[in-house]
Amino acid sequence: MRTFTGVGSTPLSGVGTARWYRPEADLTLPDRPDPSGVDPDAELARFESARDAAREALRLARDRAAERVGEEEAAVFEAHEQFLDDPELVGDVEDAIADGTPAEHAVSDRFAAAIERFEALDGQMAERADDLRDVRDRLLRVLLDAGADADDGTALADLGGLPAGTVLLAERLTPSDTAELDPDAVAGIATVEGGRTAHAAIIARSLSIPAVVGVGEPLREIDDGAELLVDGTDGRVVVDPDAEARAAAGGDAASAVPDRVSTADGRRIEVAANVGSEAEIGPTTERGADGIGLFRTEFLFYDREAPPSEDEQYEAVTAALSAFPDDRVVVRTLDVGGDKRVPYLDLPNETNPFLGRRGVRLSLDEHRDLFETQLRALLRAAASEHGDGLAVMFPLVSRIEEVEAAVSAVESVAADLAAAGVEHAVPELGAMIETPAAVFLADRLADRLDFLSVGTNDLTQYVMAADRENDGVADYHDPLHPAALRAIDRTASAAAGTDAWVGMCGEMAGDPALAELLVGLGLDELSMSAVTVPAVKERITEIDSADARELADEALACETRAEVRELLDLDAADAA
């Protein structure tokens, strides 16, 4: 056996046959002509046409990814589309074309320079270089007429049709590449380059595909057809694994922890899963999740020409409740606006949509009718066979008045249902803690609600004033910054001693390396991508609550995120 090491990205293992993916072979540029023979106007028109085709392809990719892996993960393609309109990048390409460079060479040259700048940075910023490659390759496919299966030249290799038992090897995979993969066919992924927080790695986790990234140049020594074990927990790729190696790595079934877990000293921690589509419910139960900690209802509103009916929403929620008859299912009311666009809802165009009308703000104003329809479906579902496990939370709360108005809307809908003789019940009600305002008001929110759920992605964005989709400030968007940690601690502390429980959803909650810190901060529930549930459950059983609180206190005393990472024994690639 030969063993290669990298960064474990998806904590699963798989065995299969190696197959190299080399998309660069389809993107070989022709010889560069003399600038005097180039027609700049014609080349500029080709570039503009390629941008239009790539933009349309990205929107189709976003829709496919949203259906397969959820809206949160699919948002990366909206960020990719922004690269197509980046004034500096586009301007550089146009300047090169004006100087007599063919469009494909101008794209290749200018994107290469931008990619090099990203790779010179650290952590998540370096990993965003893969996003630029994705956009570059889409443009080049059009300009070079590569990809025989698409009229516009934007087709990728047939990654969705790989034979069963394939272990896909590549220098790197882009988010588009990864979103195309069939998790039932792909036994694992291993790449030369890449990191755990790259978008491609996040999508692989959402698809529950075992993955090891950043193996380095030695991976190229593996030939097509070799039998491989991909161990995404320990970050190993083993060639010709024997029975002992396979047993040591374990498998999907062995990874599942069906029972609820407690810390070593007996403190119960609920480990739930985030669900962004109906297709994710099955894998969530298989991984042993203690219910659903974030049921994103947005997926019901996408890929259609009108909002879903009350009955459609009722059926989707009761299906989730039936899958977890003894557990809690936390449904987030419609959370659109910001980076989540629904064309038929005619959402406002705003200079800074993340600071505009989104989440509960829209539900209580322009889209009050949609909100009340959704509440009718939810209150009916709360009275269904397994409805006593339903909880409902309101997104992007920043004022007490919003919570009071949302609770009042629930009471009004309940009265209307009662008057009509419709069976219903009022579920647990909670709020997402995503804004600094909600953190400062957490004690008052806990007095009015049954639970609080910390949304670390948006909370970090607002605490650090760093757009989560802006690569230029990606270094700021880290929940391990002391300011973000103190916001989490303040929220949990505010609810302590009340009847309200406190949970967390997002990538941070799903990192086993952070489980002790989160237990120490006082979280009662952690919700995450289903694939990380078993590893987090296993880690929780090893934690002592007193030691965890001591660790949390030390982390809260840190002044920089570098100090926090050193305390947690993390390097830049380890933490989500």
What per-residue confidence (pLDDT) applies to 255? 57
**More confident: 474 or 194:** 194
Max mean pLDDT range (75-79, 201-205, 235-239, 341-345):
235-239
Banded pLDDT at 252 (limits 50, 70, 90): very low
Q: Is 22 buried (19+), middle (13-18) or exposed (0-12) by CB count in 10 A?
A: exposed
What per-residue confidence (pLDDT) applies to 77? 81
- Say how far apart CA 528 and CA 324 lie, in whole Å: 16
- Say how far apart CA 262 and CA 270 lie, in whole Å: 8
Architecture of domain 260-567: Alpha-Beta Barrel (3.20)
The tokens for 130 are: 């893969």
Question: Under a CB-based contact definition with an 8 Å cutoff, are residues 377 and 307 in contact?
Answer: no
- Say how far apart CA 365 and CA 345 lie, in whole Å: 13
Predicted confidence (pLDDT) at residue 334 exceeds the cutoff of 60: yes
User: Mean of the per-residue pLDDT values for the chain?
Assistant: 88
Indicate the residue type of 369.
D
Q: Is 351 buried (19+), middle (13-18) or exposed (0-12) by CB count in 10 A?
A: exposed
State the Cα angle at 143 between 88 and 34, rounded to 5°: 80
Question: Under a CB-based contact definition with an 8 Å cutoff, are residues 533 and 271 in contact?
Answer: yes
- Say how far apart CA 528 and CA 10 lie, in whole Å: 13
What per-residue confidence (pLDDT) applies to 271? 97
Question: Under a CB-based contact definition with an 8 Å cutoff, are residues 509 and 528 in contact?
Answer: yes
What per-residue confidence (pLDDT) applies to 470? 65
Residues 6+ apart with CB under 8 A from 315: none
| DSSP designation for 394 | E
Residue given tokens 């692989």 in the structure block = 204
* Percentage, residues of the chain above pLDDT 90: 59
Residues 6+ apart with CB under 8 A from 147: 26, 141, 153, 154, 155, 156, 157
Question: Under a CB-based contact definition with an 8 Å cutoff, are residues 295 and 320 in contact?
Answer: yes
Render pLDDT for 95-123 as a digit per residue (tens, 0 to 9).
999 999 999 999 999 999 988 887 777 65
| DSSP designation for 207 | T
Residue given tokens 């936390």 in the structure block = 330
Q: Give the domain 1-246 fold.
A: Glucose Oxidase; domain 1 (3.50.30)
- Say how far apart CA 197 and CA 564 lie, in whole Å: 18
Predicted confidence (pLDDT) at residue 416 exceeds the cutoff of 70: yes
Which of 168-182, 310-324, 337-351 is least confident? Answer: 337-351
- Which of 51, 69, 80 has its CA nearest to residue 531? 69
Hey, which residues are catalytic here?
199, 505
Backbone angles phi, psi at 123, to 5 degrees: 55, -135
The tokens for 180 are: 């195309």
What per-residue confidence (pLDDT) applies to 244? 81
Render pLDDT for 469-493 as a digit per residue (tens, 0 to 9).
665 676 788 899 999 999 999 999 9
- Which of 276, 273, 319, 335 has its CA nearest to residue 510? 273
- Which of 239, 222, 221 has its CA nearest to residue 230? 239
- Say how far apart CA 230 and CA 10 lie, in whole Å: 10
Question: Under a CB-based contact definition with an 8 Å cutoff, are residues 102 and 41 in contact?
Answer: no
- Say how far apart CA 335 and CA 431 lie, in whole Å: 12
Render pLDDT for 342-359 as a digit per residue (tens, 0 to 9).
767 877 777 777 788 889
What per-residue confidence (pLDDT) applies to 170? 92
Q: What is the mean pLDDT of residues 370-386?
A: 97
Max mean pLDDT range (73-82, 148-157, 537-546, 566-575):
537-546
- Say how far apart CA 157 and CA 162 lie, in whole Å: 10
3-state secondary structure of 236: strand
Indicate the residue type of 560.
T
In the chain, domain spans? 1-246, 260-567
- Say how far apart CA 410 and CA 407 lie, in whole Å: 5
Which of 141-150, 451-460, 491-500 is least confident? Answer: 141-150
Q: What is the mean pLDDT of residues 190-209?
A: 82
Q: Is 548 buried (19+), middle (13-18) or exposed (0-12) by CB count in 10 A?
A: buried
3-state secondary structure of 53: helix
Residue given tokens 């790449």 in the structure block = 191
Render pLDDT for 285-316 as a digit per residue (tens, 0 to 9).
988 999 999 999 988 887 788 999 999 999 99
* Percentage, residues of the chain above pLDDT 70: 90
The reply to whether 260-567 shares the fold of 1-246 is no
Q: Is 336 buried (19+), middle (13-18) or exposed (0-12) by CB count in 10 A?
A: buried
What per-residue confidence (pLDDT) applies to 154? 37
